[in-house]
Amino acid sequence: MAEVDAAGHITREINAAIRQLIAEGSTDITVLNPGARHNLAVAILDGVRIRIAGSAGYYCGGLGDGASIEIEGSAGWGLAESMLSGTIRVHGNAGSGAAAALRNGTIVVHGDAAARLGVSMKGGEVIVAGNCGYMAGFMAQKGTLIVCGDAGEAFADSMYATVCYVGGKIANLGTDAVLSPMDPGERERLEATLNSYLPAALRRTKPAAADFKKVVAGRKLWNFDKREWRIWQEAV
Amino acid sequence: MCGIVGYLDKTGSENQPIGKILLGMLEALASRGPDSAGVALFGIPRLNQLIARVKLGNNGDGAQRVLDVKTAAQKFGAQELAQKGDYLRFTFEENGDLKPFLSDIESVAPDVEVVSVGRRLEIVKQVGSPSRLEQSFGISGFLGGHGIGHTRLSTESVVDLSHSQPFWGHGYPDLAIAHNGHITNYHQLRRRYQEHGVRFYTENDSEVVAIFLADKLRQGFPLRAALESMIAELDGSFSCLVATDSALAFVKDPFSFKPLLYTETASFVAIATEEIAIRSAIPGDYTVREAQAKEVQVWQR
- Integer Cα distance of B125 and B137 in angstroms: 9
List the one residue out of B221, B184, B176, B174 whose CA is nearest residue B205: B184
In a shared domain, residues A60 and A113: no
Span A149-200, pLDDT tens digits? 999 999 999 999 999 999 999 999 999 999 999 998 999 999 999 999 998 7
- To the nearest whole number, what is the mean pLDDT of chain A? 94
Which of A39, A79, A134 is most worth mutating to test chain B (most B CB atoms within 10 A of its CB)? A134
In the predicted model, what is the mean pLDDT of residues A103-112? 97
Cross-chain Cβ contact A74/B255 below 8 Å: no
Average pLDDT of span B212-231: 98
A174 touches B at CB < 8 Å: no
Residues of A in contact with B259 (CB under 8 A): 76-77, 95-96
The residue of chain A nearest to residue B29, with distances taken between CA atoms, is: A37
| Domain over B3-44+126-300 is classified CATH 3.60.20.10 | yes
A59 confidence band (pLDDT: 50, 70, 90)? very high
Interface check for A155 against chain B (CB to CB < 8 A): the answer is: no
Indicate the average pLDDT of chain B.
96
Residue-level pLDDT at B177 = 98
User: Please, are residues A164 and A184 in contact by the beta-carbon 8 Å criterion?
Assistant: no
Give yes or no: residues A113 and A195 share one domain: yes
A73 touching B, CB under 8 A? yes
Please name the amino acid found at residue B222.
Answer: P
**CA gap B122, B47 in Å, rounded:** 16
Return the number of CB contacts < 8 Å for A and B. 73
pLDDT of A227 reads 81
Asked if A11 and A33 touch (Cβ cutoff 8 Å), the reply is no
Same domain membership, residue A42 and residue A126: no
ipTM for this model: 0.90
Q: Quick check: bond before B166 cis, omega within 30?
A: yes
Select from A92, A108, A126 the last residue of a domain. Answer: A92
Q: Give the best residue of B29, B260, B290, B294 to mutate against chain A (max A CB count within 10 A).
A: B290
Identity of the residue in B254, B274, B289 whose CB atom sits nearest the CB atom of A36 = B274
Give the fold, CATH level 3, of B46-119.
Answer: Alpha-Beta Plaits (3.30.70)
Between chains, do A55 and B279 touch, taking CB under 8 Å as contact?
yes
Residue after which a domain boundary falls, among A57, A92, A127 = A92
Q: Distance between CA A148 and CA A127 in Å, rounded?
A: 8
Q: Domain range spanning residue A148?
A: 94-236
Question: Does residue B147 contact residue B41 with C-beta atoms inside 8 Å?
Answer: yes
Residue among B254, B255, B288 minimizing CB distance to A55: B288
Q: How far apart are the first and last CA of chain A?
A: 52
Please list, in sequence order, all residues whose beta carbon lies within 8 angstroms of the beta carbon of residue A210, skipping any fewer than 6 positions away.
A187
Contacts of A114 in chain B (CB under 8 A): 256, 289-292
Pair A149, A236 in one domain? yes
Same domain, A227 and A166: yes
Q: Which residues contact A208 (CB under 8 A, 6 or more apart)?
A: A191
pLDDT digits (tens, 9 = 90+) for A116-157: 999 999 999 999 999 999 999 999 999 999 999 999 999 999
Same domain membership, residue A72 and residue A29:
yes
Alpha helices in B174-251 (DSSP H): 186-195, 207-218, 223-233
pLDDT at A205: 61
Reported as half-sphere exposure (CB side, CA atoms, 13 A), residue B238 has a value of: 32
- Distance of alpha carbon A77 from alpha carbon B4, whole angstroms: 16
* A100 and A7 co-located in one domain: no
- A141 and A126 in a single domain? The answer is yes
CA distance linking residue A180 with residue A170, whole number of Å: 14
CA-to-CA dists, residue A10 to A63, B265, B294, angstroms: 20, 29, 35
**What is the number of structural domains in chain A?**
2
A118: left (phi over 0), alpha (psi -120 to 50) or beta: left
Three-class SS of B71-126: HHHHCCCCEEEEEECCEEEEEEECCCCCHHHHHHHHCCCCCCEEEEEECCEEEEEE
pLDDT value at residue A204: 66
